[in-house]
Structure 1
Amino acid sequence: MKKRKNIIGIVLMIMLLTLAVGCSSEEPVTEAEGSGDNVETPESSEELDSMTVQLKWLPQSQFMGFYVAQANGYYEEEGIDIQILPGGSDIIPEQQVYSGVADVGVTWVSSLMKYQSEGWDLVHSGQLFQNSAMLLVSKESTGIESALDLEGKKVGSWFGGNEYEIYALLAANGLDRNNDLELVQQDYTMNQLINDTIDAASAMTYNELGLLYQEIDPSEVNILDMNDEGVAMLQDCLFVSSDWIAENEDLYVRFLRATIKGWADAAADPEAAGTIVYNVDQSVSLEHQIYMAEEVAKLVVTEGFDPANIGYTDMDAYQQTADLALEHGLLTQPVEISETTIQTKYWEAATRN
């Protein structure tokens, strides 16, 4: 009898435990049903639109606005997941965008015009640099104080599309580039000028000029500035393919809004911008990245220029670039300035609000 009572007790305990587990397992189901299946969670929230930007060169403060916009979350605020692709000597931005590897590219205006003239459906869609960064620099001892003083001298150029402002400078001063001086291949250092194997060297305000100042006192350097000489050609611009922009106008306007904010921040605080770029790719010193940022800021936000207008295209400067490119052999026919080659409406939409 006692044994039977024990068995009955055990059975009753098992039944009670089963009921308890059943009740507890039903509660979460009731809560889930009450809250609904449409509650937004990080996993179910709207996904960001992916975009890729192809730079003209390696990560450096020349492109600081993109990195600042990314670091400050401006692309995310516009619903964009941005990927910034570094460039290099073997990467051609026009090819990357035309082939669909990248959505937006950064290149020089004259280079873009060359590809457009060859039938590539690429559209200029924003202008970052308002001035040219190209200089010819020389030691004070050479006596090169004006373009006329280049006669009989050895002048360095990187060529590869970098030579046309030099050609324009010489022609504007009545110098024959084939007979009145010697144009020589320049490497990407300033050693040829420092070691006196050339008399004048090409230099960008934001890079090589700073490298030269590390070796030679600025007071001993003479500078010919293409802007002051009246032969400047526009450089860093934004461009897209006509097929891509036809399907992504809203996305591109959002991209521009974020990009403009990034460039405005970078121009206002070059030290912070240079530090952000340095942390992306520590290929040069922090000091040089900050120097570059300070100089690039002067190209993007020129004296008297409203930072709210970053990305604006000066059509007179655009036309001058086209005219000089044709006059000095980069182009074989005049540039067709139309909606198929340049569009300002996206910038206008991005800066409207």
Structure 2
Amino acid sequence: MIKPKWTALLLACMLLLVAAGCGTDNQKSGSTPNPNDAGNSGETAEAPRDIQLMLDWSANTNHTGLYVAKELGYYEEEGLNVSIVQPGAGGTDTLVASGNVPFGISYQEGVTLARTQGLPLVSIAAVIQHNTSGFAAPVDRNIKTAADFEGKAYGGWGSPVEEAVMKSIMDIDGADVSKVNIVNIGDADYFTAVKRDIDFAWIFYAWTGIEAELRGEPLDMIYVKDYSDKLDYYTPVIVTNETLIQEDPELVKAFMRATAKGYEYAINHPEEAADLLIKAVPELDAELVLASQKWLSPRYQDDAPRWGEQKAEVWSGYAEWMFERGLLDQELDADSAFTNEFLPDTP
């Protein structure tokens, strides 16, 4: 799974859609308009409230807790009928920021860019506590460190952050990013691309790395977090928008109670959680889902006091890194970009 792109053009579209969405009636989200349908502490209304949750990408083990919460009835217990949907044409961040969809899956880098462009996107939980992404290459390319990127072909999705990250970690190794041949492969499959066009790409190990293991195609993985604490950012995150937080906090609390319960189940029962994901999305490779889930489940919460917890220094650190490299037009107000307010208390 290669990370999806976000660009300046997308942000321009986001600004237009947010402006258009500001006049819509009551968070045009595919939900019923009654803000009292989702009550406190699991109380359910007579008719469940219909809401949408939009993914960032095709379903995978980053999303297992969501499907667990749906399949085991945790959302229903909160009076919610949640539809988990694929990203829309305008992008998940766009639709959530504009209020057309109440909840979505995003990334810290996307939220950071959106916030500095005036978009009211807010992260309400970190799905995974530490960054599991990095640069991967088949072992026969002999890419063991960032310095080994020199003279190699990198396959990306055309975002300026890619070259900035490569430069950042290559500088540490005393290497020159201008010696990397950067190829835009869009959404091309990693395994096809490395056999045909490129030497390495940016992946999430929990999916593409585990798939490489199952294929018997070993790879060398360079995690970006190993080079800098500022690159150990949250990816992915669960997002909503400021208007929903202000106008219907009980809905956000109900949604997060059920979602946290789903991820806690996946942490403690990886095999059963994998089965639930496969049941909900049967087109997925069952062997890959199970292996990926076993690898990822302990990493959801990792060293945090509870699943979903976010730290201000993680948000400010990555934003500082982006600003220093010209990826942001202005500095981020980190405290407004995220909140732990809606996470349930630890038992």
TM-score, structure 1 as length reference: 0.77
Change (3 A) 1:249 1:233: same
The answer to whether 1:143 aligns with 2:139 is no
Q: Take 1:45 and 1:315, find their aligned partners in 2: how far apart are those partners?
A: 36
Alignment match, 2:48: 48
Q: CA deviation at 1:257?
A: 1.3
Alignment match, 1:191: 192
Alignment match, 1:22: none
8 Å Cα contact 1:167-1:328 kept in structure 2? no
Letter in 2 for 1:322: A
The answer to whether 1:351 aligns with 2:345 is yes
Alignment match, 1:205: 205
Report sequence identity in percent.
Answer: 21
Q: Take 1:232 and 1:172, find their aligned partners in 2: how far apart are those partners?
A: 16
SS in 1 for 2:313: helix
8 Å Cα contact 2:312-2:335 kept in structure 1? no
Alignment match, 1:229: 227
Q: CA deviation at 1:335?
A: 0.7
Q: Take 1:298 and 1:229, find their aligned partners in 2: how far apart are those partners?
A: 22
Q: Take 1:94 and 1:161, find their aligned partners in 2: how far apart are those partners?
A: 18
SS in 1 for 2:226: coil
8 Å Cα contact 1:62-1:292 kept in structure 2? no
Q: Take 1:161 and 1:50, find their aligned partners in 2: how far apart are those partners?
A: 38
Q: Return the index of the structure with the highest Cα Rg.
A: 1
Q: Take 1:291 and 1:330, find their aligned partners in 2: how far apart are those partners?
A: 36
Q: CA deviation at 1:313?
A: 0.1
Matches within 5 A, 1:4-19: none
Aligned length, in residue pairs: 299
Q: Give the unaligned 5+ runs of structure 2.
A: 1-43
Alignment match, 1:69: 69
Q: CA deviation at 1:161?
A: 7.0
Q: What is the root-mean-square deviation in Å for CA atoms of aligned residues?
A: 2.4
8 Å Cα contact 1:165-1:233 kept in structure 2? no
Q: Deviations over 1:205-226 (max 9, x none)?
A: 12221232244453xx322112
SS in 1 for 2:284: coil
Q: Deviations over 1:284-338 (max 9, x none)?
A: 3111122232333243122x445xx111002222222212222334312111123
Q: Take 2:232 and 2:79, find their aligned partners in 1: how far apart are those partners?
A: 37
Q: CA deviation at 1:167?
A: 4.2
Q: Take 1:227 and 1:170, find their aligned partners in 2: how far apart are those partners?
A: 13
Q: Take 1:161 and 1:127, find their aligned partners in 2: how far apart are those partners?
A: 24
SS in 2 for 1:156: strand
Alignment match, 2:327: 330
8 Å Cα contact 2:310-2:338 kept in structure 1? no
Q: Take 2:165 and 2:221, find their aligned partners in 1: how far apart are those partners?
A: 14
Alignment match, 1:312: 309
